[in-house]
Structure 1
Amino acid sequence: MNKNKNKNKNKITKALILGLGLSFATTSFTAFAANVPEGTKLAAKQELVRGNGNEVASLDPHKTEGVPESHVIRDLLEGLVNQDADGNTIPGVAERWETPDNKTFTFYLRQDAKWSNGDPVTADDFVYSFQRVVDPATASPYSWFLEMTSMTNAADIIAGKKDKSTLGVKAIDTHTFQVHLEHAAPYFVMMMGHTTVKPVHKATVEKFGDKWTKPENFVGNGAFVLNNWVVNERIEMVPNKFYWDNAKTVLTKVTFLPIENQVAEMNRFLSGELDFTYEVSNEHFRRLKKDHPESLQIKGSLCTYYYNFNTHKKPFDDVRVRKAISYAIDRNIVTDALLGQGQKPAYFLTPEIIAGFSPELPAYGKMTQNERNTTAKKLLAEAGYNKSNPLKFSLLYNTSENHKKLAVAIASMWKKTLGVEVTLENQEWKTYLETKKQGNFEASRAGWCGDYNEPSTFTSLMEGSNTTGGIHYQSAAYDELIKRGIEATSAEERTQLYYAQEAQLAKDMPIAPIYQYVQTRLVNPHVGGYAANNAEDKLYSKDMYIIAE
């Protein structure tokens, strides 16, 4: 794990050197596409079938917030930058970029970038798309992402105080796009690889409204174009003949299958229906490791699994209850016995694999589990709960056998240690997201995967105006630390503020971090170009191909 961590840090350092376009240099790259090794014999049929967990909530990049959606959108739409197989930031629509001060960024777009209907991709497309994200009328669940960049006027536009036209973006000319920030952000270019800042085709969106993502209406600028979408069954796409690098795309068809049950997904993989899975069933991991080692892929991941408390509702409006429930989770049993794939116990929201993140464990992380349990009992008793008045609450999770089994096991820990009575409630992905957004829950399963390799991609999640996570916490002290982090003028100052933010979370306990992920899936050895070293799990189908068996 430490070796992979250091390797990742070296890669991200390289990405920063290449991607930030410091004042003394302009960054320039050669084209990037699938690299088929010389001598590789390609299969006659170049069709890839990918497991994708849940049915996507939407294919509109400005109205999504989940990982399943991002996997699909990454193939259909291309932003300013992409990532290579090792997670380095590389050109997308922007072939180069520069900045004099890490506050003003100028992106030079490819002359040959086109939409799937043949229209050129222009700087105006990015102006329109960025403004659409912050426009309150769009109701983007990720509008906060642009606010976190400190993009000029983003916060006021989202709050309805200023018009979207005042956002700090402009088209210098047809192929030159410029962004202005209120505070320096040396990692800004890395942030531009996120789903939310991918462009949409203005004429198509305005003509069809919410129906623009239907296959018959869809216009994108990615390597693939939407061909068929049968809800809860499959999403199919074919190469975009107008994509600037289409000549190097090997696959002729890509299919995403929404399979929530990991055992069913595993069986379909083993029968040859899938080329790779979304994840792996926990209880079958050891057998798969023994019987199918050639197909098992495990890599470190910029993701944390946690339980989210609604601090505005009883019983979790009491910090003593939140701490008791968190402390009584035996994280070592979760990672070693229930999962056993290399996951690490989590006492922070930010995973330690993230570049430049090495905080001191909070006090409860240094305790033995017996000490945590003893403290949890004391806290719960102080809050007024005991055998005659047991704590009762519901735990929400999105439909998944892995989430269910973990919830059952942790509920058993709470029952045994604290006498807590937990009702488990599952909902399908789209409903689960809406329930969380509306705050109609007491405690909820959650997971967060970094949008870029820097601590703020995690710590900003709990900022008060963040509708994804922070809205159910809302701490003035925490929000002030976030503000100071954004305004920090040095990397050292910013890092210390990240540690302070994590310390505030440990004090307030709005979430119970449980474990740091690894990404485990089954991948058929005939899949070439699979990005096994990309810690953010950004898998571009354009870089893959099928090897002849």
Structure 2
Amino acid sequence: MNVHSCRLWLTLAALVLALTGCGKREGAPVQAADGSGGSAKPAPKILLYGNGAEVQDIDPQIVTGLPEHMVVTALGEGLVSYDARDLHPVPGVAESWEISAEGLTYTFHLRADARWANGDPVTARDFVGSYQRILTPALAAEYAYMLYNYIVGAKDYYDGKLTDFSQVGFRALDDRTLEIRLLQPTPYLLNAMNHYAWFPVHLATVAKFDGLARRGTNWTRPENFVGNGAFVIKSWRPNQAFVVQRSPTYWDRARVKLDEIHFFPVDNLDTEERMFRTGQLHVTYEVPSAKIDVYRRENPAALRIAPYLGTYFYRFNVTRPPLNDVRVRRALALAIDRESLVNNVVRGDERPAYAVSYPGNQGYTPRARLQGTVEEARRLLAEAGFPEGRGFPPLTLMYNTQQNNRLIAEAIQQMWRRNLGIDIALSNQEWKVYIDAQHTKNFDIQRAGWIADYVDPHVFLDLWETTSGNNDTGWGSAEYDRLLAASLHAKTTEERYEIYQQLDQILVDELPVMPIYYYNRVHLVSPKLINFFPTLLDLHPWKELDLAE
């Protein structure tokens, strides 16, 4: 999933109002409403969560970003969910399932008490219709490949070669039984199905607002949205917290401990840190890099630094000269000092990245490694026609508005200027503009990051398939596509991982993206927050979280 943040324009008055409201939410038990001095009621449990960016949409089959992910997973649920401590698959809407002996057929048994927020039962037909929607070519869902790579007939339907969806490997055997037929055994499928691309949508509501094959219709407006998750929308207003409250229809509502979650779109890390320090947030999205050492010394209990299954990189638009020349891309990649960046700029114990795949993911570590010196970078740039940077055309590096992204971009800009003699302009954009530019390839170089959607090395490699909705570089390779398809038919994990080694080598050779560092999750967490365990994906089932009284 994309890693990001977005500019939040708040007037001083609005900020004061928001902070005052937060303070009241954390208040003492309230007096009886009649003022009679009757028994006090406990204050509602309201989680105040720094979400980094303004949520752009809540359609689970359209969104691709982390802020959206956080909200969507509160509002919806798929067939399977994940354990709070280690993310292994656990029952969600499906209370149980069977896998055939050859690993090609999964049969899910849905809960009798699974309900949509309007009280409708959640049925197997809801899932079949939802999967048909995400695979509908007109919808152009970026995450459609998370289904069509595995399911019989799904790619042909997505490509328009098959029009009869009954021929695709999804079948509702009855209201509570869903059968899924695979192209090949996929041992990590249940992990992948935790992703919101596999969530159902309320088809009657989507159809009412003409959204079955269209993006951005009014079915996702707060007054119209119908989800099946542990929370429902209470309010969603621009530049204010996205507020969800406990769902009265959720099948596991007795287990939900929080009354509300307020997702705050604060992109200014200094503001976010002050909000945490003054009790206005329980969790921050990030930490200003200059404050990490301060918290290490003065409040280490609040500072959380943990491995985070993701890679921070720059994306090249290889359709634009001179970035269509691999020599230029390699020169740019070799001219930066990753060790200096992580030690002096990022400061969260991150590791420099010399390949795309995250090392140690389920026992897989890429052997491919970007290697070379600054002298080699200068030689490559000269061979491409730009000796000492002379004649190099104007290029712009775009990054989404966020303080740490700016600091990294400025440091890399200086390295390119010093080591290659080229000046690359910087452009910061709010999240919506940034995402639009990414998907329309309206950029030269773009800051990016990829956090795994599930725990398996495949997740770092399938998005670079030529037609992947999340590729966004203009790069493609027939050999890469062939190997990726072959990996899905590998007989053993060892055979699959050897194919991944070839894929990683192609990415290092071709460099459609420039790896910079492997993430750590660095944020501030209140000691009041209970059951917020560190996980590789920084995912935390919302229904498991609690706040100390």
Q: Give the corresponding residue for 1:498.
A: 500
What's the CA shift string for 1:100-138, capped at 9, x where partnerless? 222211111111111111111110111011111010122
1:382 is matched with 383
Check whether the contact 2:76–2:199 (CA below 8 A) recurs between aligned residues.
yes
Q: Give yes or no for contact 1:303–1:517 (8 Å, CA) kept in 2.
A: yes
Give the equivalent residue in structure 1 for 2:431: 429
- Structure 2: where are the runs of 5+ without partners? 1-40, 212-216
Query: In structure 1, which of residues 320, 329, 340 is the aligned counterpart of residue 336 of structure 2?
Result: 329
SS in 2 for 1:516: strand
Which residue does the alignment assign to 1:540?
541
Q: Give the letter for the 1:95 counterpart.
A: E
In structure 2, what residue type is equivalent to 1:137? Answer: A
Q: Is the Cα contact below 8 Å between 2:276 and 2:282 reproduced in 1?
A: yes
Secondary structure of the corresponding residue to residue 542 of structure 1: helix
Alpha carbons 2:452, 2:459 under 8 Å: kept = yes
CA contact (8 A) 1:390 1:419 kept: no
Structure 2 counterpart of 1:514, one-letter code: I
Partner of 1:145: 146
The 3-state SS of whatever aligns with 1:395 is: strand
CA contact (8 A) 1:315 1:393 kept: no
Distance in structure 2 (CA, Å) of the matches to 1:392 and 1:332: 27
Q: Note the 1:427-466 alignment, pairs <5 A.
A: 427-466=429-468
In structure 2, what is the Cα distance between the partners aligned to 1:284 and 1:494? Answer: 42
Moved over 6 A (4+): none
2:357 is aligned, of 346, 350, 363, to: 350
**After alignment, is 474-483 or 139-148 more displaced?**
139-148
Aligned to 1:56: 55
Report deviation, 1:45. 3.1
Instruction: From 509, 512, 519, give the equivalent of 2:511.
Output: 509
Name the counterpart of 2:206: 205
**1:417 matches 2:419:** yes
**1:274 aligns to what?**
281
Q: Kindly tell me: are residues 168 and 382 of structure 1, through their superposed partners in 2, closer, same or farther at Cα, counting changes over 3 Å?
A: same
Distance 2:434 2:161 in 1: 31
Structure 1 spans left out of the alignment, 5+ residues: 1-41, 366-370
Is residue 65 of structure 1 aligned with residue 64 of structure 2? yes
For the residue of structure 1 that corresponds to 2:461, the secondary structure is helix
Deviation at 1:256, TM superposition (A): 0.4
CA distance in structure 1 between the partners assigned to 2:374 and 2:299 by the alignment: 39
Contact kept? 1:385, 1:391, Cα under 8 Å: no
Residue equivalent to 1:38: none
Match of 2:21 in 1: none
Whether the 8 Å contact between 1:308 and 1:512 is mirrored in structure 2 is yes
Deviation digits for residues 81-105 of structure 1 (CA, Å, limit 9, x no counterpart)? 1111222211111111121222211
8 Å Cα contact 1:391-1:421 kept in structure 2: no
Structure 2 distance, partners of 1:61, 1:181, is: 22
Larger mean Cα displacement after TM superposition, 426-435 or 56-65? 426-435
User: SS of the counterpart of 2:236?
Assistant: strand
> Contact (CA 8 Å) 1:464, 1:470: kept in 2 or not?
no
Query: What residue identity is the alignment partner of 1:69?
Result: E
Matches within 5 A, 1:159-238: 159-163=159-163, 165=165, 166-208=167-209, 209=211, 210-238=217-245
**1:26 paired residue number:** none
TM-score by length of 2: 0.88
**Alignment correspondent of 1:489:** 491
Deviation at 1:164, TM superposition (A): 6.1
CA distance in 1, matches of 2:268, 2:163: 45
Contact 2:316 2:473 survives alignment (8 Å) = no
Separation in structure 1 between the aligned mates of residue 483 and residue 368 of structure 2, nearest angstrom: 19
SS at structure 2 position matched to 1:380:
helix
C-alpha distance after superposition, 1:32-75 (max 9, x if no partner): xxxxxxxxxx9743111111011112100011111111111111
SS of match in other structure, 2:142: coil
* Per-residue deviation, 1:155: 1.4
Other structure's SS at 2:129 match: helix
Q: Which residue of 2 aligns with 1:156?
A: 156
* Length, aligned pairs only: 499
TM-score (norm: length of structure 1): 0.88
Offset at residue 392 of structure 1 (A):
3.6
1:395 deviation in Å? 0.7
Name the structure 2 match of 1:259: 266
Is the CA contact 2:438–2:472 (under 8 Å) kept in the aligned structure 1?
A: no
Q: For 1:240 and 1:200, how far apart are their aligned partners in 2?
A: 16
Q: Does the 8 Å contact 2:89/2:191 carry over to 1?
A: yes
Describe the superposition over 1:302-342 as per-residue Cα deviations: whole angstroms up to 9, x where unpaired. 11000111111111100000001011111101111112212
Report the counterpart of residue 318 of structure 1 in structure 2: 325
Residue 289 (structure 1) shift: 1.9
Contact 1:391 1:419 in 2 (8 A): no
Aligned to 1:403: 405
For 1:163 and 1:372, the matched residues in 2 are separated by 53
The reply on whether 1:78 has 2:77 as its aligned counterpart is yes
Structure 2: which amino acid aligns with 1:327? L
Contact 1:97 1:105 in 2 (8 A): yes
Equivalents in 1 of 2:257, 2:357: separation in Å?
37
Q: Which amino acid aligns with 2:439?
A: K
Tell whether the 8 Å contact from 1:236 to 1:256 is kept in structure 2 after alignment: yes
Distance 1:164 1:88 in 2: 35
3-state SS, counterpart of residue 502 of structure 1: helix
Determine the C-alpha separation between the residues in 1 that align with 2:472 and 2:526.
Answer: 39
Shift of 1:539: 2.0
Identity %: 38
Question: In the alignment, what sits opposite 2:299?
Answer: 292
